[in-house]
Amino acid sequence: MCMFTCNSTYSPPRLYFDTGMHIEDLSVEEGTISVRTNEAFDCYNKSGKARSSDQIIRLREGPFRFSDTRNKFTAVGCDALAFMTDAEGTFLSGCFSICNENNTMLEGSCSGIGCCQTAVPKGLKTLTLVMRSEEKTNIIQKFLSSLENKNLSEILCFNVTDEEMEEIGVFAELAKRCLSNSGVNRPTMKDVTEELGRLMKLHQSLWAQQNSKETENLLGDDSSSYLPIEIETTKMKQPDTYTLNMTTFDF
């Protein structure tokens, strides 16, 4: 199997390791090559839509391994959780980078403020690079914790009614059972169908009650039955771009 290919469509031609990693430096004396790869990232585009991409790098057959002395696992961003693993799942490592208004990233520094680093293990032939926002992780953990402690109301909108809370609670409990690691605790398809049917009837009943109340309000003449409501909107701060800056590898 040929590990090197030459792409002559460029001027001058470019040398690649395998099929997709551009070789930037090659040392016969040291027995090393440096290649450029794509970045893993988790960010928002201009329209506010979330975009993310993990990277899987495989060296395939051959004598090459990722160098543990010439590489550093590096993540740049705010509220950024980055981690790496191998194809066999024999290890998991990573780092966490944070920012706040009082901290600025110093040039050449990578100590956890806007940038973090950790070592790459020795002897790896595969690497999976993942970038995530810690904010997303915290939201999931908060939901699971609230479900476990029966405190779903703590993470829901203030105008959710008691009847709607019952509906949400049943949905959440059903989802929790479906995702259980134990097959004994997971519901059968018949149980799920029956539960969803009951929820549908409950939802239709709640909608009918709400629609009836809205109709009465529209037809009523007594203005004293209305109360002023102040609504405050809070703009969610979009996280900064989380980019996993590990684009050059040494073998």
What per-residue confidence (pLDDT) applies to 142? Answer: 54
Answer for the pair 11, 4: CB distance below 8 angstroms, yes or no: no
- The per-residue pLDDT for 230 is 31
Backbone phi and psi for residue 140, each to the nearest 5 degrees, phi listed first: -65, -45
Give the pLDDT confidence score for residue 238 in this predicted structure. 41
Residue 229: its pLDDT value, please?
Answer: 32
pLDDT at position 225: 34
88-118 pLDDT, tens digit per residue, is 878 888 888 887 766 666 677 788 888 889 9
pTM of the full structure: 0.51
Residues in the chain predicted with pLDDT less than 50, given as ranges, are: 137-138, 140, 155, 158, 214-215, 217-219, 221-247
Return the ∠ at Cα 147 (arms to 144 and 153), rounded to 5°. Answer: 115
Handedness of CA 125, 109, 133, 241 (dihedral sign): negative
Q: What is the DSSP string of 124-165?
A: -SEEEEEEEEHHHHHHHHHHHHHHHTT-GGGGS-TT--HHHH
* pLDDT reported for residue 35: 87
